[in-house]
A and B are shown apart, each in its own frame.
Chain A
């Protein structure tokens, strides 16, 4: 995949973004593809029921000395991509912190299996290309539920494509081979471990709510907006809606 010319990938991403529809102002949820999204949701939910949830339960029973190195390894292999996004967002400090973290954990932390950098206070500054696009002013676009990946938006889906196709890890010759070769299976295993750790929260949304599609959509959009730091101003009357005004009607 990494053999694709970078310019082509960027062009594709730009094309995808140009197609992003703009949400009407003040609307919490912009979901013109709801019919299709709901069908994807049903498939994702079925896959969770037969595969991800049972595997997650197994992982939750495994001792942490087994599961934590997998999560550490996967997070570490993702750091070079995160550093690029830090830089694209102008976050030099985050890029420096993540770079140092990558060097320390890949060497002292044995290919990233351990997290000595975290132990000395070098936590990851998490970000991705979806966040970079947001920083660059791209609109969020419509809500999408992606097969296998779950809730997303047009902007975040374009970001995912770029993050996968333009992973700088592929071009870092100095990095030991296993870090590169095992990064994808480790990523999959990490999803399983996290599904196990967040067991009851996930179950509540997927299996205990009356409309799991609508709940997942609402939670994803709100949490993602929060994560992207688009914190509402203290004067934002759309965000700070007033239930008392409605009662008085």
Chain B
């Protein structure tokens, strides 16, 4: 009887500890993801290749490390529910290209700089990895990645630069673009692809 009781207690304790252990593993995995991402970004910055190649390389990095379907879907807001799976897939593709172009263009300003990973911690929606971007002629600034394993693999789903949140910015932008097109997702996809 006592043995069973002890075994039960032990199992209970193990169960109580398990989420903490899993969290620690998630934090390490998220940090490793951002370490690899930052190493690739720093390599692109240091390579000094022409702008269009930089944008192409940024697009590849975004595809590899970001959860593009989730970011794209979030940017559509409530309209995502009205979209067909085919529309969502085409929108995700167009949105990814638009994001790579928009953020990739900024890489020119990063030449001579680098990003340093600072810390990682568990937060309610996943893991937050904080980094500092150190660029020439600029005060260093904070860039935080939100990482989740909700899709089965660690991917980042948000980027926050000095408090400014990419998911919210892009949702604001896409909502305005949709309003201008009378809520027509197909027109939005066509126009995003042409941007």
A contact residues vs B (CB 8 Å cutoff): 28, 200, 204, 209-211, 214-215, 218-219, 222-227, 234-237, 240-244, 246-247, 249
Q: In the bound complex, what is the Cα–Cα distance between A243 and B77 (angstroms)?
A: 10
A194 to chain B, nearest CB (A): 12
Separation of A246 and B70 alpha carbons in the complex (Å): 10
Chain B contact-residue range equals: 35 or more
Whether, in the assembled complex, B148 has its beta carbon less than 8 Å from a beta carbon of chain A, the answer is yes
Residues of B near A249 (CB, < 8 A) are: 81
Whether B123 and A218, one on each chain, are in contact in the complex, defined by CB atoms closer than 8 angstroms, is no
Give the chain A neighbours of B172 by CB distance below 8 A: 211, 214-215, 218
Q: Identify A210's interface contact among B74, B106, B177, CB under 8 A.
A: B177
- 5 additional A-B pairs beyond A210-B180, A211-B173, A225-B163, beta carbons within 8 Å, are A226-B162, A236-B124, A241-B125, A243-B70, A246-B74
Instruction: Tell me the complex Cα distance, A244–B155, Å.
Output: 12
A242: chain B residues within 8 A (beta carbon): 124-126
B157 touches A243 (CB 8 A): yes
Knowing A211-B173, A234-B122 touch, does A223 contact B74 (C-beta < 8 A)?
no
Write the nearest CB–CB distance from B87 to chain A, whole angstroms. Answer: 15
- A interface majority secondary structure: helix
Residues of B within 8 A of A240 (CB): 123-126, 128, 146
A28-B73 contact given A209-B173, A225-B163, A242-B124, CB 8 Å threshold: no
Instruction: For the complex, give the distance between the alpha carbons of A217 and B54 in Å.
Output: 30
Contact call A234/B168, Cβ cutoff below 8 A? no
Contact B168 A28 (CB under 8 A): yes
User: For residue B71, which residue of chain A has the nearest CB?
Assistant: A243
Q: Given contacts A210-B180, A247-B70, are A218 and B169 in contact (CB under 8 A)?
A: yes
Give the Cβ gap from A145 to chain B, nearest Cβ, in Å: 16
Asked if B28 is an interface residue, CB under 8 A from chain A, the answer is no
8 of the cross-chain contacts (CB-CB < 8 Å) are A209-B173, A214-B172, A215-B172, A219-B169, A227-B163, A236-B124, A240-B123, A244-B125
**Complex Cα spacing A218 to B169, Å:** 7
Structural contact, A219 and B74, CB atoms closer than 8 A: no
Query: Across the interface, do B168 and A222 meet the contact criterion of CB distance under 8 Å?
Result: yes
A78 to B142, CA, bound (A): 25
Nearest-neighbor residue (CB-CB) of A210 within chain B: B176
B71: which A residues are within 8 A, CB to CB? 243
Q: How far is the CB of B96 from chain A (nearest CB, A)?
A: 16
In the complex the two chains form, is B176's CB within 8 Å of A214's CB? yes
Contact assessment for B163 and A223 in the assembled complex, using a CB-CB cutoff below 8 Å: yes
Partner of A226, one of B81, B163, B167, B173: B163
